[in-house]
Structures are given as C-alpha cells and as structure tokens.
Amino acid sequence: MNIHRLRALDPGPPDGPPRKVLHESAKFKALLIMLPPGGVIPPCEMSSHVIFTVIEGAVEVTVNGDPVALTDGDCLITEPATLSMRSAGGARVMGTQIH
C-alpha cells in the first residue's frame, strides 16, 4: 500500500518532466501531472484506457480532436485515443492508464 499526498508532492525542477510516476505495474500506471501556468502536454497516442482526475486548477484535454474543459474534482474517462492537455493557470491532475 502507498499513500500519496497529491497536493503536497514536490513537482521537482522547473525544467524537468511535468509528471511524476506514482505506481507502475503490468495492469496500470498512475501518475501525477503537474502543469505550470501555460503548461502543455503535446498530442500522444494512447493505446490504453485513461482516467484523468483534476486535483486542483483547470485543464483543457483534447480527445481525438475534441476539447473538454475540466476543473477541480472533474474526472474524464476515455477509451484509447489521441490525447493532449494544457492549462492556462496551472493544474495538478491524477492520470491513470489501464492496460
């Protein structure tokens, strides 16, 4: 068992990757995505189901070209798709990939 305080995790160096892997196994991967104001994750082809839950802030997730706005407490569940994400004001998002 692991407990992660998602609002308190250190994002690491500002020039480092905007995500921190919390757990990885053959069945799923959980990570914390930390986007600074104006932060962007470019389009990525995901071959697994994905769940995004906004911990704090707001993001726009684009799923196969369709933008979806998410704010604190919102959860998006998608089948395999091409995904991208951006945040105007910064955000922390829990992402889970189901293999």
CATH number at residue 48: 2.60.120.10
Would 34 be classed as within a structural domain?
yes
Q: What is the pLDDT of residue 49?
A: 96
Reported as a pLDDT band with limits 50, 70 and 90, residue 52 is very high
Which of 80, 61, 79 is closest to 70 using CA atoms? Answer: 61
Q: Residue 82 pLDDT > 90, yes or no?
A: yes
Q: What is the pLDDT of residue 9?
A: 76
Q: Residue 24 pLDDT > 70, yes or no?
A: yes
Would 43 be classed as within a structural domain?
yes
Would 68 be classed as within a structural domain?
yes
Would 11 be classed as within a structural domain?
no
Reported as a pLDDT band with limits 50, 70 and 90, residue 61 is very high
Would 15 be classed as within a structural domain?
no
Would 67 be classed as within a structural domain?
yes
Nearest 10 degrees: Cα torsion 28, 4, 62, 35: -140
Could you list the residue range(s) of the whole structural domain that residue 71 is in?
30-98
Reported as a pLDDT band with limits 50, 70 and 90, residue 26 is very high
Would 9 be classed as within a structural domain?
no
Report how far residue 80's alpha carbon sits from residue 91's, in angstroms, rounded to the nearest whole number: 23
Q: What is the pLDDT of residue 19?
A: 82
Report how far residue 15's alpha carbon sits from residue 67's, in angstroms, rounded to the nearest whole number: 27
The total number of structural domains that make up the chain: 1
